[in-house]
Amino acid sequence: MTTLIVDAANVVGSRPDGWWKDRAGAARRLHEQLLVADLPYDEVVVVLEGAAKGGTKAGRDGHVRTVHAKGAGDETIVEQARAAAAKGRTVVVTADRMLQARVGGVGAQALSPSWLLDQL
């Protein structure tokens, strides 16, 4: 099982395209891009926090699973990475260096938002 976990706030925030005016819309657009992207992962997990949660309901949509963080997304991302890494190869997309170190500690690899955006 291969899993890609997306720190949606970090990925959306890496592009200055006005996302801050409509966080829910930006999350929805990212979700839609991930649904049609040809990525080499069995499952894509998108973690949303704050106002972005209004853009996509929690749950599964094809190979994309949306998770709503209860608070800050980092804790939820680490939990998701720990569970996925126990089942197979796991990659987390984030530019947050502290989060990269934390997911590395649970057995996941970290890649930058620019890598993902290039794939989309």
Q: Are 117 and 16 spatial neighbours (Cβ–Cβ below 8 Å)?
A: no
**pLDDT number for residue 36:** 95
* Cα distances (Å, whole numbers) of residue 71 to 67, 100, 114: 12, 19, 25
Q: Are 105 and 18 spatial neighbours (Cβ–Cβ below 8 Å)?
A: no
Q: Are 103 and 17 spatial neighbours (Cβ–Cβ below 8 Å)?
A: no
Q: Which of 68, 75, 63, 66 is nearest to 99 (CA)?
A: 75
Could you report the per-residue pLDDT of 26-55, keeping only the tens digit for each? 999 999 999 999 999 999 999 999 999 999
pLDDT over threshold 90, residue 17: no
Tokens of 100: 């990269």
Query: What is the dotted CATH code of the domain comprising 3-119?
Result: 3.40.50.1010
Could you report the per-residue pLDDT of 75-104, keeping only the tens digit for each? 999 999 999 999 999 999 999 999 999 999
Domain residue limits, the chain? 3-119
Share of the chain above pLDDT 90, in %: 85
User: Which helix H or strand E contains 7, and what residues bound it?
Assistant: strand 3-7
